[in-house]
Structure 1
Amino acid sequence: MNGKWLWSAVLAVCFIAGCGVSDGMEQEDTTGLSEVEEARDEGEFLDEEELEAQWKQPFQLIYEEYFGKGAGPEWSIPRTSKSPNGKRRFLGPFNQEEVALQLEDLPAHDEIKVTLELFVLKTWDGNSTCCGPDRWVAQVDGGPVLLDATFSNDDAPFDPEFSQSYPGPYPGGSNPGLTGATEKGTLGYPDESGYGGVGDSIYRLTFTFPHSASGLKLRFTDPPRGDANELWGLDCVRIKVRPKEVKQGDLLVTRNTDSSVLRYDGRTGAFAGVFIPPGSGGLANPQGMTYGPDGNLYIAGFDSRNVLRYDGRTGAFLGVFVTPGSGGLGAPNDLIFGPDGHLYVSDGFFGTNSVLRYDGRTGAFLGVFASGGGLSVPQHLAFGPDGNLFVESVLGNDVLRYDGRTGAPLPAPGQSGAVFIGDIEVVPLAFGPDSKLYVSTTANDVRRYNGRTGALIDVFVPPGSGGLNSANDLVFGPDGNLYLPSFLGDSVFRFNGRTGAFMDLFVPPGSGGLARPISLTFMPSDKAR
């Protein structure tokens, strides 16, 4: 946003962790991280599927039952029992019976994840043709079969006659008995096979499948068979939904070689067209760019010396919002709507050397909001979570802070004037989802600061990471990642929003004719088409 570019100034079935009520119960993930995000934190390479997955909402737990106090009316057969050794209470046992779980009024979602423990009890013979096959089936009523497999409690040397299909489907799989079992012989059932086995085994299963209906019915059964002395049960049943995905907004980037704004797919970075044609409405040298409370796009024109308004959906010119010279405005650099709904504009050249405030609905001048305290050529603006205003002072090499209600200087402890972070050649700045202040500097890095004290936390993005250079803006996207346009690189960089690791060139050099980008913003999701 710097004026004149002031660079120098998954059906998936898998094994999961145990979930006994008192020992090893699977704990709900309180971090809100998906498996993909955790992998990214560890520096693993993301393939296309994983990059797609990061846009998904995390699963939310909506149901769990451990049957310690019995089963509720949502179960078609609410029978519960204790294991022979008294250590576990579970749903069952069942023999040649179908049991259904019915849930209603689910929140809006597009995917479901089911985890459970399957108790395989007594003499399960797997694929045996003389005594089986001993199958267990789980399916969504009116939907996909989640699992149709045979199980065997045979613990003797492998005999194909008593093999089981699991973890493969039936028919087809042939694996030694107890393959994939997480517990063997822990419930106290005696071995009655006579050929060397265990009396019980436990399998921890996970099923993930597309689903969007408000109701869910899961059916579990062991189909009829000739020799049916086998039993089964369930425990640790947990249902999670992935909230319905909201379409993410596209990325808008200024092209300062012809004063236009280009549009890129918010997920892939693919060029999606020219959003604002060159010079539309008299736009000249676009700097700061932001969406207003009305859903329209506002752009500071450095050379046109005004603030222009454009339709937030189509890019059509709607008019001049702040006229040249209004309130002493010289050449606007950055602009932002404040918590009060009004528009704040940094006026760093040829004008007032201050932050000016304008009515957020009409564009009428309301007064000088912030000045003094060491402010010299204000550029980038950011409101913090506390409502205070943070301003880049280009010639002062500082980040300044002002009271968000009065505009009075608010220095950090030990600083004077309005200085919040001193002696730093800052370019863009922004607050992250973690309420920390992120600042990109002329060293081609991004530094993270305590948003309340101004203390340096770390260098979030190392100098030149991924080839980063000449960044003029800094925005956290709807995916939580960090985006920076490279003025000299004619591109947009993306970094992991939690670790700072380089991810990719989200917009490759020159894509769609991109040249000398200065400012970027994401379209609100409800404006995406």
Structure 2
Amino acid sequence: MQILVTSASGANGDGYGSLLSFSLDGTARGTFSADPRITDPRGLSVSANRRLLYVNSGSDRILALDAAGNVVRDTGEIPGLNAGGGNLAPDGTYLVGMRSARTIVAFDADLAGAPQNVLPAGVVPFPRGFASAEDGTLYLASGIGPGGEGENSIAVFDADGTPLASRFISDDALSPLDLAIAPNGNIIVSSEFPFRAPDAVTSIREYDRSSGNLVRVFAPPPGVGFHQPRGLRFGPDGHLYCVARDNVMAFDFGDGRFLDSVVHMPRLNGQAIVFFPLLAD
């Protein structure tokens, strides 16, 4: 098993603009795939059978890679896609956040055919991460965009895209950057509040799936660099991982303890994180 991280680049963060691989102990293994179609990558997701890795490329296309890093599926360029996060839905379709269109679209698992709108265009001012529960309920983080536009909330939709709640939570200390669903069904959100402020408070926040109430806050001890938190993922060990600027942080989800900075790489500028089998696994 390995940790894969997308690193943003250029005007989006002066990172590496690559899909990077790390051993579980944090040792850098290099670029997972050198395919030139992977540029300034963002969202990542792994198929249910663990054989395919879906990658949202800044070249306005979605790719699927095998364990050797070879591209085996490619949507081709889709002008204006501007893909952010990506997650596989319970029905196997691949959901992608479109930052410019302010919505979520779905691709068939084989990435053939045009994307289909899951939610209307402009459904939130700026999408900042989403996840689908087993019953199809879709939770969408609505955050602040690069130009300062947006809001700090979570919207909820049923499996048909019908709005259930425009503001699922009430938390004046939240500015969401990614969202995941925990094994207990609660909603986990990475946050930087106020967004891009020099003195922003960074944290990971857990909300009750029924009430939207804040349950607890995950944060490393003072002095541990935790800046620009983005992608969230639960590892095979059950721990909660968050990729951030220069680091990947690990927390014990059971008791909330900060465990370690399992990856440290200057200029990482991580956007998404997944765990993917090694070729020999």
**Same-fold status (TM-score > 0.5):** yes
Aligned AA for 2:83? P
Establish whether residue 447 from structure 1 lines up as the match of residue 205 from structure 2: yes
Match of 2:167 among 419, 443, 468: 419
Q: Which residue of 2 aligns with 1:132?
A: none
Distance between the aligned counterparts of 1:381 and 1:363, measured in 2? 23
Distance between the aligned counterparts of 1:419 and 1:373, measured in 2? 16
Establish whether residue 290 from structure 1 lines up as the match of residue 67 from structure 2: no
Structure 1 runs of 4+ off > 6 angstroms?
none
Mark the CA change 1:459 to 1:258 in structure 2 (over 3 Å): closer, same or farther. Answer: closer
Establish whether residue 518 from structure 1 lines up as the match of residue 266 from structure 2: no
Mark the CA change 1:263 to 1:462 in structure 2 (over 3 Å): closer, same or farther. Answer: closer
Q: Which residue of 1 aligns with 2:6?
A: 254
1:479-501 deviations in Å (ceiling 9; x for gaps): 111111122xx121111121221
**Partner secondary structure for residue 507 of structure 1:** strand
CA displacement at 1:269 relative to structure 2: 2.0
- The question of whether the paired residues in 2 share the 8 Å contact of 1:445 and 1:463 is answered with no
Q: CA RMSD in A?
A: 2.4
Establish whether residue 494 from structure 1 lines up as the match of residue 246 from structure 2: no
- The question of whether the paired residues in 1 share the 8 Å contact of 2:90 and 2:133 is answered with no
Mark the CA change 1:362 to 1:285 in structure 2 (over 3 Å): closer, same or farther. Answer: closer
Q: Which residue of 1 aligns with 2:75?
A: 321
Larger relative contact order, structure 1 or 2 (CA cutoff 8 Å, min sep 6): 2
- The question of whether the paired residues in 1 share the 8 Å contact of 2:6 and 2:43 is answered with no
1:156-202 deviations in Å (ceiling 9; x for gaps): xxxxxxxxxxxxxxxxxxxxxxxxxxxxxxxxxxxxxxxxxxxxxxx
Establish whether residue 407 from structure 1 lines up as the match of residue 161 from structure 2: yes
Distance between the aligned counterparts of 1:462 and 1:263, measured in 2? 23
Aligned AA for 2:169? I
Match of 1:364 among 90, 109, 113: 113
Establish whether residue 310 from structure 1 lines up as the match of residue 65 from structure 2: yes
**Partner secondary structure for residue 440 of structure 1:** strand
- The question of whether the paired residues in 1 share the 8 Å contact of 2:73 and 2:111 is answered with no
Alignment of 1:18-29 (within 5 A): none
Bigger radius of gyration among the two: 1
1:82-110 deviations in Å (ceiling 9; x for gaps): xxxxxxxxxxxxxxxxxxxxxxxxxxxxx
1:218-271 deviations in Å (ceiling 9; x for gaps): xxxxxxxxxxxxxxxxxxxxxxxxxxxxxxx211112333322221122x2222
Match of 1:428 among 178, 199, 208: 178
Establish whether residue 377 from structure 1 lines up as the match of residue 126 from structure 2: yes
Aligned AA for 2:128? Q
CA displacement at 1:528 relative to structure 2: 5.8
Distance between the aligned counterparts of 2:265 and 2:220, measured in 1? 21
Aligned AA for 2:81? G
Aligned AA for 1:467? G
Distance between the aligned counterparts of 1:314 and 1:382, measured in 2? 27
- The question of whether the paired residues in 2 share the 8 Å contact of 1:281 and 1:308 is answered with no
Alignment of 1:450-461 (within 5 A): 450-461=208-219
- The question of whether the paired residues in 2 share the 8 Å contact of 1:460 and 1:499 is answered with no
**Partner secondary structure for residue 446 of structure 1:** strand
Match of 2:242 among 477, 480, 484: 484
Distance between the aligned counterparts of 2:4 and 2:188, measured in 1? 21
Give the structure with the higher percent helix: 1
Aligned AA for 2:72? L
Give the structure with the higher percent strand: 2
Q: Which residue of 2 aligns with 1:338?
A: 89
Unaligned runs of 5+ in 2: 9-14, 144-149, 193-200
CA displacement at 1:464 relative to structure 2: 5.4
1:448-477 deviations in Å (ceiling 9; x for gaps): 111122111122336858332211111111
CA displacement at 1:293 relative to structure 2: 4.1
Mark the CA change 1:322 to 1:435 in structure 2 (over 3 Å): closer, same or farther. Answer: farther
Distance between the aligned counterparts of 1:366 and 1:253, measured in 2? 25
- The question of whether the paired residues in 1 share the 8 Å contact of 2:7 and 2:42 is answered with no
Distance between the aligned counterparts of 1:339 and 1:477, measured in 2? 19
- The question of whether the paired residues in 2 share the 8 Å contact of 1:428 and 1:472 is answered with yes
CA displacement at 1:396 relative to structure 2: 2.2
CA displacement at 1:307 relative to structure 2: 1.0
Unaligned runs of 5+ in 1: 1-248, 412-417
Aligned AA for 2:7? R
CA displacement at 1:378 relative to structure 2: 1.5
Mark the CA change 1:452 to 1:462 in structure 2 (over 3 Å): closer, same or farther. Answer: farther
TM-score, structure 2 normalization: 0.83
TM-score, structure 1 normalization: 0.46
Establish whether residue 271 from structure 1 lines up as the match of residue 28 from structure 2: yes
Alignment of 1:453-472 (within 5 A): 453-461=211-219, 466-472=224-230
Q: Which residue of 2 aligns with 1:92?
A: none
Distance between the aligned counterparts of 1:463 and 1:355, measured in 2? 35
Alignment of 1:96-115 (within 5 A): none
Aligned AA for 1:353? R
- The question of whether the paired residues in 1 share the 8 Å contact of 2:6 and 2:20 is answered with yes
Aligned identity (percent) is: 26
Aligned AA for 1:363? A
Aligned AA for 1:440? S
CA displacement at 1:322 relative to structure 2: 5.5
